[in-house]
Amino acid sequence: MAVPLFNTSAPLAAIDADIRAKVSSILDAGVYVLGPEVRAFEAEFAAYTGTAHAVGVANGTDALVLALRALGVGPGDEVIVPSFTFYASAEAIPHTGARPVFCDVDPDTFCITAETVKAAMTPRTKAVIAVHLFGNVAPVEEIEALGVPVLEDAAQAAGTVLDDGRRPGALGTIATWSFYPSKNLGAFGDGGAITTSDDTLAETVRTLRFHGSRDKQTFELVGHNSRLDELQAGILRVQLPHLDGWADGRRAGARHYQEAGLGELVTLPKTAPGARPAWHLYVVRSERADELRTVLNDAGIGARAYYRTPAHLQPAMREWGEGLDLPGTAEAARTNLAVPMSPVLDRAQADEVVAALTAVRV
């Protein structure tokens, strides 16, 4: 039986009628940008993350740029960012005029640590982008204890929760989200948000997303056009009450893999202390990752490597990445392999993945 790498259609099928009804009602209302659905989603998402404010924007990459600008990041500043992440985490930095400074990750968690950040800090460090990669949780408080504000890139961490009930998006100074369709909370197109409990930062990103204006008459800042639309916000509102159930399904999927013995064949991702990750991707490590991918794909099982060329080695980052030695990043990039993960990954599917991999070992 084929096992897909992701399965977003099965969970959405269960709420199909609700989504269609919501879309119809928005078409009837005829308000398409920054209207009542966006306002309601912002209130609901802020309550969900446990922050005072959520601000809807056009996508997760814009969210990063606006959040960095609100933090006052600009020319002459440095922003620390992991290299083992989706490229957009780093790409946002030069848009502000600042310089990306790449730091290493712990290959066991795929996240940055206070030590790797410390090694990259200079007097010019203005902020740190902590990516909660694959849904795991970066140690935001330990990093802020170094005396630098943390922007959480929570694009992959919707549904993740800490044992004490707090969530990514509420752990640092400001946080960014992507609602790209494949994310744990996905729109039917592009969408993003910024969460923060700082009133001033929230007001600044609200202004920046609409051309630097509060009243559409006076333009105080050179801003952006980066708005969330009503259809996306409405669709996200229908999904939000289901997010925790889907996250439980992803956590159950990870347990199925553990109980099926996947950890005897490959290195499993290490859960950050105190975290209950909503695995956006379930990424294992093996020195034979490419061979295992071929075997899985030949068996009809989705598997792929992520970020084989990490951000600091991408051509556009040459100016800032050349000659860096990031051993944890190199290891994660070389050995990682995402295996199927979704809210509906069951034990039989986990057994099938393990059986296919067991066949290679002998």
> Whose Cβ is closer to ligand PLP: residue 57's or residue 356's?
57
> Whose Cβ is closer to ligand PLP: residue 129's or residue 356's?
129
Instruction: Give how many residues touch ligand PLP by CB under 6 A.
Output: 15
Quick one: DSSP state of residue 106?
Answer: B
Query: Does 356 participate in binding ligand PLP (rule CB under 6 A)?
Result: no
Stretch that binds ligand PLP, among 84-92, 158-166, 271-279, 290-298 (CB under 6 A): 84-92
- Nearest distance in Å: CB 304, ligand PLP: 14
Query: Does 131 participate in binding ligand PLP (rule CB under 6 A)?
Result: yes
Altogether, the residues listed in the chain come to a count of 362
Instruction: From 81, 111, 117, select the one nearest 272 (Cα to Cα).
Output: 111
Find the binding residues for ligand PLP in span 24-83 (CB under 6 A). 59-61
Query: Does 134 participate in binding ligand PLP (rule CB under 6 A)?
Result: no
Q: How far is CA 328 from CA 54, 110, 144, 282, in A?
A: 33, 8, 22, 18
Q: Which phi and psi angles does 171 have, rounded to 5°? A: -95, -25
Find the binding residues for ligand PLP in span 198-237 (CB under 6 A). none
Residue nearest to ligand PLP (CB): 60
Which of 82, 107, 186, 192 forms a contact with ligand PLP (CB under 6 A)? Answer: 192
Find the binding residues for ligand PLP in span 300-339 (CB under 6 A). none
- Nearest distance in Å: CB 259, ligand PLP: 28
> Whose Cβ is closer to ligand PLP: residue 135's or residue 249's?
135
Reported for 185-188, long-range contacts at CB under 8 A and 24+ positions apart, including other chains, are 185/158, 185/159, 185/236, 185/239, 185/240, 185/243, 186/8, 186/239, 187/232, 187/235, 187/236, 188/231, 188/232, 188/235
> Whose Cβ is closer to ligand PLP: residue 111's or residue 161's?
111
> Whose Cβ is closer to ligand PLP: residue 131's or residue 150's?
131
> By the 8 A CB rule, do 87 and 46 touch?
no
Q: How far is CA 349 from CA 179, 258, 353, in A?
A: 27, 13, 6
Q: Give the strand pairing for 336-339 and 282-285.
A: antiparallel
> Whose Cβ is closer to ligand PLP: residue 59's or residue 125's?
59
> By the 8 A CB rule, do 151 and 174 touch?
yes
HSE-up (13 A, CA, CB side) for residue 254: 23
Query: Does 85 participate in binding ligand PLP (rule CB under 6 A)?
Result: yes
Find the binding residues for ligand PLP in span 233-292 (CB under 6 A). none
- Nearest distance in Å: CB 280, ligand PLP: 8
Instruction: From 184, 361, 135, 137, select the one nearest 262 (Cα to Cα).
Output: 361
Contact string (CB under 6 A) for ligand PLP, positions 141-180, x = contact: ------------x-xx---------------------x-x
Instruction: From 79, 78, 64, 100, select the one nearest 324 (Cα to Cα).
Output: 100
Binding footprint of ligand PLP on the chain (CB under 6 A): 59-61, 85-86, 88-89, 131, 153, 155-156, 178, 180, 190, 192
